Structure 1
Amino acid sequence: MAEITLDEIKVAPPPPSGDNPRIVLPITGMTCAACVRNVERALKKPEGVVDVSVNLATERATVTYLPGTVRRADLVKAVEAAGYGVIDLTDSAAPEDAERAARQAEIDHQRRLVVIGIVFTLPLFIISMARDLIMAATMPFMGMADMSVEMAQIHGVPDALAWMFWSGMPLILMVLATPVQVIVGRQYLIGAWKAARNGSTNMDTLIAIGSSAAYLYSVVVTAGLLFGFADVVGDHVYFETGAVILTLITLGKLLEARAKGQTSAAIKQLMGLAPKTALLLRGDQEIETATDEVMVGDRLVVRPGERIPVDGVVIEGQSAVDESMLTGESLPVNKMPGSEVIGATINKQGRLIIEARRVGSETALAQIVRLVEQAQASKAPIQRIADRVSGVFVPIVLVLAALTFLGWLLIGQVGFTAAMVNAVAVLVIACPCALGLATPTAIMVGTGRGASMGILFRNSEALENAKRIQVIALDKTGTITRGEPVVTRVIPLNGMDASELLWLAASVERASEHPLAQAVVEAAKSRDLKLAQPSAFEAISGRGVRARVNGQLVRVGSPRFLIEEGIDLTSAQKPLHDLQAEAHTAIVIAVDDAVACVIGIADTIKPGSREAVYELKAAGIDVVMITGDNQATAEAIARQVGINRVFADVLPEQKADIIKQLQAEGRRVAMVGDGINDAPALAQADVGIAIGTGTDIAMEASDVTLVSGDLGGVARAIHLSRATMRTIYQNLFWAFIYNIILIPVAMAGALVPMLAAAAMAFSSIFVVLNSLKLAAPSKRRFQDFEPDNREWSRRSGDVHSPAQ
């Protein structure tokens, strides 16, 4: 019988000091996937850096390094040398608040730039369009062959009017365009210069070259009109082109930043759940204190309607607690003395006095936030596609723009001006931003959505792999069943009294922490039996225990264990068979080498287990059960929940071999267990899913952790993974197809730069907004994994066991 206790399932502490430490840097100045690549390359230069992961959506860099080799200042210096910035959090008491304030300040700055751009660009655009329309209408009316000053004078246009339209207006347009180019365009020029200085390119490079080319060419044309060499440089200006490009792209950048802020709404909501203050009980006095100052062992008062400040245990009072914000379960959970409570959950009814057990960074909420942040900062394998493309994207676009210019100039025979306009359109239409945002924004929203439903993905790779699962192996005890077995039968075999035999068994089992052992002990206590203290206690993992009680050698365990101990079980065969037929687990007691008793123990099916198995099968996933119970008992449980394939009589160390066997069939396998004796199987599986209950969360033991003990969370996790990956595929398809189609269109001269700028801004916004759809799923798309979905109960009658 395995020596495992449910009390061992605890919230995992922060990573031990022996692990490689990490530093998280909030980065500023990143605009596209090329920027991500540049920052990663810069951060890998310091000696001692083991791994670097940069996320464009969160705008954070996570650096793993060898202990004692790297300082934060070294990393900041490397980032700044690459032309980017790092938000300084060293002097901040609340780094999250400081980072949030810095991000908000950047949004406010972009908003001011947009206002400046609109103020100058709107009249610039109106005047420019009016000039072109008036001149275009005047030409045929006056019989002018072109729009030159000389032609106007030949046809009798007054000098003042000719100067105004041909020279004065371009000067006015330049005056309006210059603030946009200098103030709004400054960030792009600086970004392009820093990238060039480091031998790289990014989105700023494309915008800076495109807008500057239109502006500088127009300045030269204006000078030609003013100083009499228009016949050399031409007479048409494009000031509005550069200004509109900068204003529209900055507007897109602002909208993108605001939308990106919404992708982290779930994590912000989680962080905001913890109450700032707590009521500390000192004698008979209730003292309000900061939650950060609460220590383990402190007694706290929680009034009805208040949030519980830290993880703890109830020592006085009874109430119902709403844990939905962490577990996704809508029904309140009854609490009484001895019940564990989770920080940030809501006390609904009675007054509670709790004793603090976990505070600060050790609370379940802190662990959940840390795990979600870790998942959001990681890179999904599919991101490698965008990373590879981003490394060459901008240089390729620059080459295509140059070819467009030369092609139109030399082959198209349209002149310098038209060739330049088409090249600018190519530069502006290209959008590396969408490539960089396609995966991380969906990962952020998906993991945040999961956290709100009590589903925690360790990293984005786990989120991606869950989509591909074909077989799910379920542990029985604590996963399909409640994991709270109770004694149902005590069957004496040697003439001894049933109570005496139960007393002997419980006296031995009191030293064991296995759930079946605890069931025997609880049965004895319920009969007011005073247990003896065993001696020479020995546990044999997964089989049973032996000890001496009042000088008698008592063995308690599975039938297999007793047979291995040399005990004859002939007289126990009928009760064993009867119990197995009733889907009860049987344990056998032997006293002094003779079989003495058979005890029947039953574990009830968890609510929702049957429906969850149905949902998984409806999703095209095969479900199998792995258990240490005998074949008859296992099959009886399997029939109740609709599972066809059962692996019974499996020892804890053999579960990983079963997973290997399933994988050898060429299928991707997920293992669902309680995260304790299932650890080897969880590690062997393609995706390990640990089921916790409340604060009993084995977060460090699996790829996915279900905060609630609800097996339906497995189906919800699979559906969420599929929805997230579907969104990523949509984003990547859009990012690639957008560039594949519109860059050639721009090269063909069918797209003016201003429309190109609008399309480019929309491209990034589309990716972010498409990802945000995950945060508010429709009933049609997500009905199968909504925690409170009543559709399950309606359809549960359709579930059939193999026998049917």
Structure 2
Amino acid sequence: MSPEQVGVRPEARPQIIELDVQGMTCASCAARIQKKLNKLDGVQASVNYATEKAHVVAPEVMSADDLIETVRAAGYDAALPVPDAPPRDRAAEIRRRLIACAVLAVPVIAMAMVPALQFPGWQWVSLALATPVVTWGAWPFHKSALVNLRHGATTMDTLISLGTSSAYIWSIVALVFGDAGMIGMRHHWTLNLVRDEGLSAIYFEAAVGIICFILLGRYIEARSRQDASSALRALAEVGAKAVTLLRDDGAGGSSEVTVPIEALAVGDEFVVRPGEKVATDGVIVQGYSAVDNSVITGESLPVEVVPGSSVVGASVNTTGRLVVRATAVGADTQLSQIARLVELAQTGKSRSQDLANTISGIFVPIVIGLALLTLVAWLVAGQDATFAVTAAVSVLIISCPCALGLATPTALLAGSLRGSQLGILIRGPQALEEAHRIQVVAMDKTGTITAGRMSVHEIVPADGYERDALLTLAATLESASEHPIARAIVAAATAPLPSLEDFANVPGRGVRATVAGRRAAAGSAAFMTELGLDVPNSLVTAADTAAAEGASVVFVADGDRLAGVVSVADRVAPNAAEAIAAFKGLGLRTVMVTGDNRSAARHVAQQVGIDEVRAEVLPGDKFAVVRELQADGQHVAMIGDGVNDAAALSQADLGIAMGGGTDAAIAASDLTLMRGDLMLAADAVKLSRRTLATIRGNLFWAFVYNVIAIPIAALGYLNPMFAGAAMAFSSVFVVTNSLRLRAYRPGR
């Protein structure tokens, strides 16, 4: 993101500062930090909750320490990124806390619920076991509640902290000042409050149970959210890690030396051997080869390169040795630009706050007010303080949003497990929130609609020449070449290949050799003309037709005559047409967005029934196409498999990656198809819609449960211990409802 893009005046001489932000527990935290930073003079900041980073454009006179102090003043923490430091694993931190709390909480809950386990002094043991859970285990909730309190805000964490603390503190009061601390005390299972026994019961099991349930939900959420930041790391892995530089040896010659990619500078010349990645963007100085650019451009066919041709970093050299002069390094390369687009998409994407947090933002203040009203009302009615406080505690416990907290992650987990069984991986609630609103499905061609592998498209023999003989001759000529087109022709041959002698590769033209004692050649039409051979009109027509369908054409000569034409192309993937029909059945418009040429793209689109074609689109333009569709008010799903698709996948409302694609595409997506079957994308949309419907159902019933239960507790008809059990039951109901997704079958 340039300074001009964010509105900073050039004369301000801005700088870009990245910060790692810690302590955020929800999207509102990121919004709060962003608001604080943007209040600083000349600062434009964007805070990403998913990646836990802040991207700040600030005046040159401002230091990173100033920004860090501003973040800390907001109640959070920040630091400059540590180079090569492993990413912080928040899911692992929560998992450790969850396991420790569960080990301590299980005996507390068991003793409270099973009278046979209530040995003399059991209540004091419960206090000892519950204390670490309510203090250390629930500390993230307490800290978040305090931070939000400083800003006059309340969240789910506020109610969790208040409810568990109330149950814990009131239990201690009952132990110390009431009958609950007497050795030999047992819990009395009564539904309603007994007005003269308010200090005869303890509620540690309610406190520790709430904490464990909520930690479980946070762990599931952290696992899915953590993956959002992996896209940029995956992009970093695509490029070369080392480069072979050509150095002047001082004697008029040159030597090769391998150095880390960071040592490469603009103007340096480097060597790329067959099978190696091109280290950075550059221009060919020496050598002839075919370069596979599919990782960047999406073009399925390798591109012939000669001295003067441009190449891009991370593309793969397939055949000859190349010497390349670097024209861009580091942040200026096309790969780095794609990475910036991915980061921009992740940071700028509208990530609506979780539905449970939205409900809690309204619900929590109401609950706190009702608890206080309950306390005051019973005191005014003449009840003793013990009963009034116990009734108020019942309101807090029964309303603790455990079920609300579990509504999304449990449905996400059940949906994800079912998705994995179907071959679909679902990441994050964002996919579920957006799936039902999708109106347009944009998709890449190569590796998505097509198989992404070269195969023989058509064999057209010349008059008097047999088809099988033509294929055998072409395969024999190409058997000595490592070019992907050559490998496809050789793979198609079934007959034994004759002997090959005097093989010669003519860069950019073709090959020639002696086959079974006769001169033969294969290559372009121009190569045939150079050899003095006439190309019949019938073969020219066949070649033009194949080229219009996106195929690469190889002319084959046998002696002094043309034997025919063999064309090679990327075939339409199985079920692609069925998948497009399924999208249309869901009311979705389909758009192909590809780097391939227009004729090839239109031919494939006609085969499968695509509504609209955007061809010859560069990586940055794929991102722009998605934004253009969104600017028209459309909710867009993007399906792709390459690094060139990563930015568009991140920008799309719903990113869907083919599982056989690159790590960068998979990491940037919301859904990943584990098999190369486009029909799974339609199934993924159906499953996502069903999962979101389940989440909404969970939230509805959890909220209705609170609406019904809170008045009962406020009127004094609900014991806090039973309130805790009812709270647990609501959580069980939510989990059970979510588990119904395991039996879901998308109709076809």
- TM-score, with structure 2 as normaliser: 0.56
C-alpha distance after superposition, 1:769-792 (max 9, x if no partner)? 999x9xxxx9x979x9xxxxxxxx
Is residue 322 of structure 2 the alignment partner of residue 353 of structure 1? yes
Partner in structure 1 of residue 70 of structure 2: 78
1:173 aligned counterpart, secondary structure: helix
Q: Which of 76, 83, 108 is residue 124 of structure 1 equivalent to?
A: 108
Aligned AA for 1:83? G
| Residue of structure 2 in register with 1:258 after alignment | 223
Match of 1:736 in 2: 699
Instruction: From the superposition, tell whether residues 50 and 360 of structure 1 become closer, same or farther in structure 2 (CA, over 3 Å).
Output: closer
Which piece of structure 1 moves more, 193-202 or 372-381?
Answer: 372-381
Which residue of 2 is the match for residue 672 of structure 1? Answer: 614
1:235-254 alignment runs, 5 A limit: 235-254=200-219
1:290 aligns with 2:260: yes
Give yes or no for contact 2:289–2:319 (8 Å, CA) kept in 1. yes
Q: 1:726 aligns with which of 689, 692, 695?
A: 689
> What's 2:137 paired with?
184
Match of 1:203 in 2: 156
Deviation at 1:209, TM superposition (A): 0.7
Cross-structure match for 1:30? 24
What is the DSSP-based 3-state SS (H/G/I as helix, E as strand, rest coil) of the residue aligned with 2:614? Answer: strand
Which among 419, 435, 438 is matched to residue 467 of structure 1?
A: 438
Distance in 2, Cα, partners of 1:363 & 1:127? 64
In the alignment, the residues of structure 2 paired with residue 436 and residue 36 of structure 1 have an alpha-carbon distance, to the nearest angstrom, of: 20
Whole-angstrom distance in 2 between the partners of 1:435 and 1:71 = 43
Mapped contact 2:265–2:329 kept (Cα < 8 A)? yes
- Deviation of 1:642 (Å): 6.4
Cα deviation, residue 242, structure 1: 1.9
Q: Please give the per-residue CA displacement for 1:641-688, whole angstroms capped at 9, x wherever unaligned.
A: 36999xxxxxxxxxxxxxxxxxxxxxxx97724358999999865379
1:363 and 2:333 equivalent? yes
Structure 1 pair 440–309 and aligned structure 2 pair: CA distance change class (3 A): farther
1:526 positional shift = 8.9
1:713-792 aligned within 5 A: 722=685, 726=689, 729-730=692-693, 733=696, 736-737=699-700, 739-744=702-707, 746-747=709-710, 748=712, 752-753=723-724, 756=727
CA distance in 2, matches of 1:746, 1:430: 14
SS at match of 2:154: coil
Match of 1:223 among 146, 169, 176: 176
Within 2, Cα distance between the matches of 1:781 and 1:352?
50
1:281–1:287: 8 Å Cα contact kept in structure 2? yes
Is 1:619 aligned to 2:583, yes or no?
Answer: yes
In structure 1, C-alpha distance between the alignment counterparts of 2:232 and 2:223, rounded to whole Å: 16
Closer, same or farther: CA 322–439 of 1 in aligned 2, 3 Å: farther
Please list every run of 5 or more consecutive structure 2 residues that lacks an aligned counterpart in the other structure: 7-14, 183-194, 417-423, 451-523, 531-540, 549-566, 662-675
Change (3 A) 1:613 1:116: closer
- CA shift in 2, pair 1:738/1:407, >3 Å: farther
**RMSD between aligned alpha carbons?**
6.8
Q: CA offset at residue 289 of structure 1?
A: 1.1
Amino acid at match of 1:222: L
Distance 1:392 1:258, change over 3 A: same
Alignment of 1:363-402 (within 5 A): 363-380=333-350, 389=359, 391-399=361-369
- 2-side partners of 1:470 and 1:362: how far apart? 31
Contact 2:379/2:388 (CA < 8 Å) preserved in 1?
yes
Report the counterpart of residue 397 of structure 2 in structure 1.
425
For residue 638 of structure 1, report the CA deviation from its aligned partner.
8.1
C-alpha displacement at 1:293, in angstroms? Answer: 1.7
Could you tell me which amino acid in structure 1 is paired with residue 346 of structure 2? Q
Asked if the contact 1:379–1:461 (Cα under 8 Å) also holds between the matched residues in 2, the reply is no
Distance in 2 separating the partners of 1:114 and 1:584: 61
Conserved? CA contact 1:318–1:352, under 8 Å: yes
Following superposition, the deviation at residue 211 of structure 1 comes to 1.1
**How is 1:61-76 mapped onto 2 (pairs within 5 angstroms)?**
62=54, 72-76=64-68
2:473 aligns to what?
none
2:495 is matched with which residue?
none
Change (3 A) 1:752 1:460: closer
The 8 Å contact of residues 292 and 302 in structure 2, kept in 1 or not, is answered as: yes
Name the SS for the 2:257 alignment partner: strand
Q: Tell me, what secondary structure is at the counterpart of 1:280?
A: strand
**1:316 maps to what in 2?**
287
Could you tell me how far apart the structure 2 residues matched to 1:119 and 1:214 are? 20
Confirm or deny: 8 A CA contact 1:380 1:464 kept in the other structure: no
Return 393-402 or 382-391, whichever deviates more: 382-391
1:60 is matched with which residue? 52
3-state SS of the aligned residue for 2:400? Answer: helix
The separation in 2 between residues aligned to 1:638 and 1:370, in whole angstroms, is 33
Q: TM-score by structure 1 length? A: 0.53
What is the deviation of 1:221? 0.8
Where 1:287 maps in the other structure, the secondary structure is strand
For residue 189 of structure 1, report the CA deviation from its aligned partner: 2.3
Contact 1:263-1:441 at 8 Å conserved across structures: no
C-alpha separation in 2, matches of 1:466 and 1:524? 52
Opposite residue 124 of structure 1, the aligned amino acid is: V
After TM superposition, give the deviation of residue 756 of structure 1 in Å. 3.6
Identity across aligned pairs (percent)?
Answer: 25
Q: 2:338–2:646: 8 Å Cα contact kept in structure 1?
A: no
Q: Does 1:194 align with 2:147?
A: yes
Distance 1:233 1:252 in 2: 32
For 1:129 and 1:439, the matched residues in 2 are separated by: 28
Instruction: Check the 8 A contact 1:214/1:239 in 2, yes or no.
Output: yes
Deviation at 1:215, TM superposition (A): 0.9
Amino acid of the structure 2 residue aligned with 1:733: R
| Amino acid aligned to 1:93 | P
The answer for the alignment partner of 1:171 in structure 2 is 124
Q: 1:228-627, aligned counterparts within 5 Å?
A: 233-282=198-247, 285-296=255-266, 297-302=268-273, 304=275, 307-312=277-282, 315-316=286-287, 318=289, 323=294, 333=302, 337=306, 343-344=313-314, 352-355=321-324, 357=326, 358-380=328-350, 389=359, 391-399=361-369, 415-416=387-388, 419-420=391-392, 422-430=394-402, 467-469=438-440, 608=572, 616=580, 619-620=583-584
How far the C-alpha of 1:234 sits from its partner, in A, is 2.0
Matches of 1:364 and 1:723, distance apart in 2 = 35
Give the C-alpha shift of residue 294 in structure 1: 1.9
Residue type at the aligned position of 1:619: F
Larger radius of gyration: 1
Say how many residue pairs are matched: 580
Tell me the distance in 2 between the aligned counterparts of 1:694 and 1:250.
36
What amino acid maps onto 1:743 in structure 2? N
Work out the CA distance in 1 between the residues paired with 2:379 and 2:685: 49
Between the aligned partners of 2:393 and 2:405, the Cα distance in structure 1 is 22
CA distance in 2, matches of 1:691, 1:182: 46
Instruction: Indicate if the aligned counterparts of 1:34 and 1:202 stay in contact, CA closer than 8 A.
Output: no
